[in-house]
Amino acid sequence: MDIHIDIRRTLSPAEFGPEALLAKYTGTIYRSLPHRVVGRARAYVVPIEQARDHGHQALDFLDVDGDVWPYHVLLSRREAGAFSAAVNRILGTDEVFNQNLLIIDRVDILPRYRGHDYGLQAMHLMLTHLSLGCRLAAIKPYPLQLEVPGAMGVDRSWHQRLQLERFTLTPSQAMRKLRSHYACLGFAPVPSTDFMVRDLEDGYLMNWDNIASAQRDGVQEID
């Protein structure tokens, strides 16, 4: 692998409220040799089980942050402590005993470093180091060229550096590419939603060489 990530998180007492339980990780992606900034990443560990122990219901807990709230569609509204039926079908089970989520929210790669698997490597590292204790990893494939500057917590100067106008695929083409791209990490689309998920019941044990091989065999790098 060619990159590493400098990740930061602020810790607060649990008594501060549900916001303190939500683990938000922001990081800078570096190329190892030579040492260069190639992008940024953002992820959340959503400890629904811990929040429940503190008296917070899952849907109320997800509602504390606008970045994680959209993922409420992965949870069942009929049965507390359960994922949706569509997610359960992907997991191959009718019930789960752990709803903790790892959400990989953003991976941005600067223009000169695109096409070298750095985005996929960053996701691989976050899955490797942040997935402990989580039953499900989730992502929302979204062509970044469609987002509004200043939205989604991205500062305008960084947005300008990304030069997203360089992407020429149509939204539907870009979405198909992204879904195929993330499938290399074991993510599967959740029907009737914009999300993809990966089962973490046995942990995340994928080998980077195998991922890179799968990517070369049929997926063009899309960051």
**In the predicted structure, residue 185 carries a pLDDT above the cut 70:** yes
pLDDT score of 220: 43
The pLDDT score that the predictor gives to residue 174 is 75
Phi, psi of 104 (to 5 degrees): -90, 105
Instruction: Give the residue among 120, 106, 126, 138 at the shortest CA–CA distance from 6.
Output: 126
Where are the domains positioned within the chain?
Answer: 3-218
pLDDT given for residue 218 in this prediction: 62
Dump strand ranges (E) for 97-172.
101-109, 136-139
pLDDT attached to residue 143: 67
User: pLDDT for 97-156, tens place per residue?
Assistant: 999 999 999 999 999 998 888 999 999 999 999 999 999 999 998 766 666 555 555 677
In the block, residue with structure tokens 């039953």: 135
Per-residue confidence (pLDDT) for residue 223, from 0 to 100: 35
CB 80 within 8 A of CB 52: no
Per-residue confidence at 222, pLDDT binned at 50, 70, 90?
very low
**Do 65 and 135 touch, CB atoms closer than 8 A?**
no
